[in-house]
Amino acid sequence: MDKGAPQAASETTALPDISPRNDAVALEWSVHLLKRRPKAALAAGVSLAAVWIVGTLLFRNALLALIPTLALFGSLTEYYLPTRYTLTKMGARSKCGWMVLEMPWTDVRHAYLASDGVKLSPLRLKNSRFERMRGVMLRFDGNSEQVIDTVRALRAAASEEPL
């Protein structure tokens, strides 16, 4: 490589860290779906046990049967574990167990009211088939007006800031 030749500056675009440690928290709350519907825990528990039993019979190995059982439990973590929601000036954050979903306000294309919360979506099309899998769902815990007002205020403030 020629030492005299100018080198291009290396630019990387990193997503902003919107975790509560880097920004003032505007609103924070927790929702535990198990406490809302404790009877459904029985059905989920029976399903987990059935998957483990069937897996043990099919694989003839109790440890190997834990793989599909843990996969099912992973899909039920939002039900079994509490979800902590944090709204900051930079964005929205949802943390449930080991899963963390974060979305800066600048990435929110639209927000809409659902029966149990507010859905923040990064997609341009409102009725996209990917809508359920993308974005952050902010579930209410008796604080619907407070969540809606805070989301509106923080989105408005983010859109007014210069880039």
> Which CATH number does the domain housing residue 41 bear?
2.30.29
In this prediction the pTM is: 0.75
Q: Enumerate the β-bridge partners of residue 104.
A: 91
25-37 confidence digits (pLDDT tens): 889 999 999 998 8
Q: Does any domain span residue 14? A: no
- Number of independent structural domains in the chain: 1
Residue scoring higher pLDDT (8 or 36): 36
Query: Which of 6-15, 97-106, 112-121, 133-142 has the weakest average pLDDT?
Result: 6-15
Mean pLDDT of 123-146: 82
Given a contact cutoff of 8 angstroms between Cβ atoms, the answer to whether 48 and 73 are in contact is: yes
Q: Does any domain span residue 121? A: yes
Q: Does any domain span residue 67? A: yes
Given a contact cutoff of 8 angstroms between Cβ atoms, the answer to whether 34 and 79 are in contact is: yes
Given a contact cutoff of 8 angstroms between Cβ atoms, the answer to whether 116 and 140 are in contact is: yes
pLDDT at 5 over 50: no
pLDDT bracket for residue 103 (50, 70, 90): very high
Q: Does any domain span residue 8? A: no
pLDDT for 150: 94
pLDDT at 72 over 90: yes
Please give the residue range of the domain that contains residue 120: 21-160
Alpha-carbon distance 127 to 112, whole Å?
A: 11
Q: Does any domain span residue 45? A: yes
| 141: Cβ contacts below 8 Å, ≥ 6 apart | 29, 30, 31
Q: Does any domain span residue 9? A: no
Q: Does any domain span residue 118? A: yes
